[in-house]
Each structure stands twice: as structure tokens, then as C-alpha cells.
Structure 1
Amino acid sequence: MVEASDTERDAAERIFGVRLGLAERFVQHLATSGIERGLIGPREVPRLWGRHVLNCAVVAELIADGARVADVGSGAGLPGVTLALARPDLHITLIEPLERRVAWLEEVVMDLDLENVEIMRARAEQAMGRVSCDVVTARAVSALDTLAGLTIPLLAGEGELLAIKGRGAQAELDKAAKVIRRLGGVETTVVVAGADILVEPTTVVRVIVSKR
């Protein structure tokens, strides 16, 4: 069992509520088969709760009720699986091109019985026209100027991109500004999620896309 600190457990209880047990099982998947199959590095085990699961799950507070979410480059289910656990009202499509990662995601989703999740084996550009979504999420996929071209088209002209980033978020956003505007981005901001829950809130680049 990967133990959360007292602070992390308090945060997890607030985020996952009655589904905390499922979140704990997800962390165990990451710490065992996730490492065995190369989805998570062994050095990350002590940081699974704080740096990975909670860091991703708080993004749920930025998403509207009942939204359809496409998670690009899901990999180890971050943030897609954590969002599905925190928000059973959301419909999550995990988009991942690598077969071994897809196989692992399928096993995890089945074990956790996440009825609000579907998995699509595809590159982001291959998913265009195959997925209908209001929100696109991504974490550790690529720099924002490249990521914008992979994610914004999935929104079909209307919705928002939530990209989890680090301290260089504003610099990435400034560099990607022209690309984002060309793709239909009408409003861009750097926001934080989990400010009242986490010691280190999550930095998110938010891009609103509209045809208007």
C-alpha cells in the first residue's frame, strides 16, 4: 500500500469522497503494474499521491457538470482516470496511441468499474471526428505551441483546453499565442486548481475556443 501523508489524505478525502477507496486502488495499480510496464518510474512511488494523482484530480473543479472530456496522451491515466474518479458525472475518453498503455488502461478501468470512461487507441490527430467533447485535457504531452495543434481541433470549434503545466506556463502560453488564435482560441489564461486543498496548487493553461 502506498501511504498518503496526513495532508494528502485529507485532500484525497475532499476530492474523491466516497470513491476514495477506488482512488487508493488506482494508486496501487500505478505503484505495481504501472511501474512494471514502464508507465511510471520507480522513483515516483513516494510522490504518487501528491505529485500525480491529487495534482491531476483537482483539475476537476474547472470542468462544468456533465461535460464530455477527451484526455489526450492518457498514458498512466493522468489526468483522465483521476478526473473520472473525482467526477462520475463526467464522460471521459482516454486517447492513447501506444498499445501497451492502452492494455494497461483497459485493465485498470475494468478493475475500478469506471462506467464513465471509454478508451480510444489513437493519436490525437487520428481521433478528430471520432470523439465528441466539450473539454480537452493533457498533461506532459508536449510544449503548448505543439499541444494546441493536437488538442484544440478535437473541440470542433467550441469548448476549452485545460493543459496541466508547470512554472513556465505563462512563457509557454506567450510563445503559443499566435497558434492558439489561429486555431480558434479566443481567451487564454493561466489558472490554478486546488488552491484551497493542496499545498502546491496545480497550474493549468486554460484556452477557451469559440466559433464566434
Structure 2
Amino acid sequence: MTKLLLASTSPARNVLLTNAGLAFDVASPGVDEEELVAKLNPQTPQELTLLLARAKAEAVASDSLVLGCDSALFFGGEILGKPHEPEVAAARWRQMRGQWGELYSGHWLHDSQTGQGVGRVTATKVFFANLTDQQIDRYVATGEPLKVAGAFTIDGLGGAFIERIEGDYHTVVGLSLVALRELVTELGHDYLSLWR
């Protein structure tokens, strides 16, 4: 069995890998994302998410395959990460309602045995419901949108506010299983060896 380490504290990614039947451990990467972005100044959501995914994977010492992930929403010509503050989340939702954006998830898989690493960015178009101000305020008050890219989840309370998607559902959760399988294979491992 190949060992996998998820360099992420995201509950959604943890549940996703568990439900996919994978055996894995979890570690906090401890990467200062804001400092790294300020220093390297990525220009596109693809560059941003891959940069942060790679930094997270390479920040964790391990003897296994280490997976780093990062997500961002591209909406209205802007790259939107986690809003952190209720006012920011509410303002974003007032802009996004009835519109669509693209959710990007960057993946970096680092093989600690060989030192090799490979990356992939996936994107899915997300169509948002036309919520009322009251619905937005109540959703933001739950706290759920504050610590997630784009100020929404598809696998939690926010799922009711996503009218449809075009692309990979797991990308919107924050980790594409298809991309993970491809990266594992690219590094010369058998994806099925990750199954519990």
C-alpha cells in the first residue's frame, strides 16, 4: 500500500478522501499563504492555486506521497480566496447572486521518496442562485462562508445556493479525485494502492 499524506486541515478534503476509500494521514502545512502570494505575485487563479498547493505539499516532512491543495474563485475578473470577515462574505454574495464564476483547485503531489513532484489545476463553472439580502445575511451568520474560497461550499449549507455546475463536482469541494488519480499515476504509483 502506498502511503498518502494530505497537507491540509480542510474538513471537506478530509471527508472527500475518506468517502473515496483512501487511506491517508493529515498534517497542517503551516504555510503563510498571504506572505507567499505577496512575495511571488501570481497573476492568474491557475498560478495562485498551483503555487499554494505546491508550497503546502513541500512544507510537510514525510516518507510518503504528500498532497497539497488550494482553491480560489475567479469572478468578475478578480481572484477571490477566503473572505474571513462577515462583511466581505456578504458583499461578495451580493455581487455573485444570480451570476456565475469559475472555481479553480490546484493540486500538487510530492513524492518524498524520490523528490519528484507534479501538479494539476482543475476548474469548474459554478452558477449561483439569486438570493435575497436576508438569505445572504443568514448564510453569512452561520460562519460557513468565512473560511472557504469564494465564500461558499457545495457540500454544506451553501450547496442549496448553487443552482448548477459545469465540470467536476470534486473540484468545487477543493480536491479533484480525477486529478489525484492522474498525479499518482504520473509519479509511477498505482492509485488503487491508496485504497484502505
Establish whether TM, by shorter chain, passes 0.5. Answer: no
Higher relative contact order, structure no. (Cα contacts within 8 Å, ≥ 6 residues apart): 2
Structure with the larger helix share:
1
With structure 1 as the length reference, what TM-score do the two structures score? 0.28
